[in-house]
C-alpha cells in the first residue's frame, strides 16, 4: 500500500531561509519525493538546489520536464517554469502565470492532489499574499494533509495566515517541528482515496490541463465559474469567478489565474501606472501648448499666443490634480485592509 510519500512545498518572500532550515533538518534517508516552488524572478539563476545540497541530506535538483519521480529526492521549480506532477513523472511547463507568478504554488499543489490524492502532504511556508491557499484547499479536499508554518515564526506571514483562514489545516508548526513531523507522516500508510463528485474532479482536471499549456477555451475554462465584469490584468480577457469552499478566485479565458488578493493587488498597481501615464500625457500637452504659444508670439499674434499659454496653464493645473491622486493612491491587499479595519476597532 502507498504511503504519504508526495510532499509539496510552497514559499515566497522569506521562504528561502525557511526551506533551507526545513531541508537541513530532514534525514538523508527520508522515503518521500519532495517538490518545491519558491517564487523568484524569471531572469535569476535557480540556486536553491545548490543551497539544499550543501546541507548534505537529501539530493536536490532543478526539475526537468518528464523526468521520473524518485523517492528520497528534492525537485525544485526552475525560474520562469511551473513545476507540476503527472503519473510517475515531473512536468516543467511555461504555462500561464497564476497569482502573477511563474512558478506558482497553486499549479504544483493542484496537480499533486489530482494525481496522488491522499498520498500528498502540502506545506505552505513564509510568503506574501496568498499563493498556495487554493492548492492547499484542493489537497485537503482530496484527502491529503495540510501543514503551514506558524505565522508568528514566518518572516512574511501572509501565505501561511491566508491558508489558516481558508483551509482546515492539520498542523501549524515552526519549521523545525515540521521536519520531525514529516519523518513520522511519510512513514504512514495513506488512507483510502477520497471520493469527490465527478463535476469537481473535472474542474481540477481542467485547471491542471490549462497549466500544462492546453488551450483554456478548449478545456472549458468558462464553465469553471461565473463570468465577471473584471478584466485580466495580464491580457485583458474576461475573468470567471471560481468558488472553492469559502475561497473565491478568478481565471481568464487565456488561462491566467488570480486569487482575490493577487487580483486586488494587480488592479491597484495598474491604477497607479495608468495615472502616471495620464500625467505624462498631460505634461506633454503642456510642453506643446507652450511651444506653440512661443511660436505665435514670435509671429506677432499675441492674442492667439496668450490663448495657448492659458490652455497650457489649465492643463498643468489638471496634471497637478492627477498627481495628487497618485500620491494619495493606496496599494491595497487583503492584509492591509484587514489591518486598517483592526486599527479602526482599536480606536473606536
The side-by-side arrangement of strands in the sheet containing 120-124 is 59-62, 73-76, 33-38, 6-11, 120-124, 145-149, 171-173
- The answer to whether the beta carbons of residues 97 and 256 sit under 8 Å apart is yes
Cα 8 to Cα 20, 38, 85, 138, 291, distances in angstroms: 15, 11, 10, 13, 62
Which amino acids are annotated catalytic? Answer: 12, 39, 131
Q: At how many degrees (to 10) do helices 133-141 and 158-166 cross?
A: 40
- The answer to whether the beta carbons of residues 100 and 258 sit under 8 Å apart is yes
CA distance 97 to 100: 6
C-alpha cell at 17: 531561509
Task: At 229, give phi and psi (nearest 5°).
Answer: -80, 5
CA distance 22 to 338: 30
Amino acid at each position: 500500500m502507498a504511503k504519504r510519500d508526495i510532499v509539496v512545498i510552497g514559499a515566497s518572500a522569506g521562504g528561502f531561509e525557511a526551506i533551507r532550515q526545513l531541508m537541513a533538518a530532514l534525514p538523508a534517508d527520508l522515503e518521500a519525493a519532495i517538490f518545491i516552488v519558491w517564487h523568484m524572478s524569471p531572469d535569476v539563476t535557480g540556486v536553491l538546489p545548490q543551497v539544499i545540497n550543501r546541507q548534505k541530506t537529501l539530493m536536490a535538483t532543478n526539475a526537468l520536464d518528464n523526468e521520473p519521480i524518485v523517492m528520497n529526492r528534492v525537485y525544485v521549480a526552475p525560474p520562469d517554469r511551473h513545476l507540476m506532477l503527472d503519473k510517475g513523472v515531473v512536468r516543467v511547463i511555461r504555462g500561464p502565470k497564476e497569482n502573477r507568478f511563474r512558478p506558482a504554488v497553486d499549479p504544483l499543489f493542484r496537480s499533486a492532489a489530482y494525481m496522488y490524492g491522499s498520498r500528498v502532504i502540502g506545506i505552505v511556508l513564509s510568503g506574501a499574499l496568498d499563493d498556495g491557499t487554493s492548492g492547499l484547499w484542493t489537497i485537503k479536499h482530496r484527502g491529503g494533509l495540510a501543514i503551514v508554518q506558524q505565522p508568528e515564526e514566518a518572516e512574511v506571514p501572509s501565505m501561511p495566515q491566508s491558508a489558516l483562514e481558508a483551509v482546515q489545516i492539520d498542523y501549524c508548526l515552526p519549521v523545525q517541528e515540521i521536519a520531525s513531523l514529516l519523518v513520522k507522516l511519510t512513514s504512514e500508510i495513506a488512507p483510502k482515496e477520497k471520493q469527490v463528485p465527478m463535476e469537481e474532479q473535472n474542474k481540477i482536471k481542467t485547471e491542471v490541463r490549462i497549466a500544462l499549456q492546453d488551450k483554456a477555451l478548449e478545456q472549458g475554462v468558462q464553465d469553471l465559474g461565473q463570468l465577471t465584469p473584471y478584466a485580466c490584468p495580464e491580457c485583458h480577457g474576461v475573468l470567471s469567478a471560481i468558488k472553492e469552499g469559502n475561497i473565491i478566485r478568478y481565471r481568464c479565458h487565456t488561462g491566467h489565474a488570480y486569487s482575490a488578493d493577487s487580483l486586488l493587488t494587480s488592479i491597484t498597481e495598474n491604477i497607479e501606472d495608468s495615472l502616471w501615464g495620464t500625467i505624462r500625457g498631460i505634461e506633454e500637452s503642456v510642453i506643446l501648448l507652450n511651444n506653440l504659444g512661443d511660436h505665435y508670439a514670435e509671429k506677432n499674434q499675441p492674442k492667439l499666443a496668450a490663448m495657448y499659454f492659458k490652455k497650457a496653464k489649465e492643463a498643468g493645473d489638471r496634471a497637478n490634480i492627477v498627481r495628487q491622486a497618485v500620491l494619495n493612491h493606496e496599494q491595497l491587499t487583503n492584509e492591509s485592509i484587514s489591518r486598517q479595519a483592526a486599527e479602526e476597532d482599536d480606536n473606536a
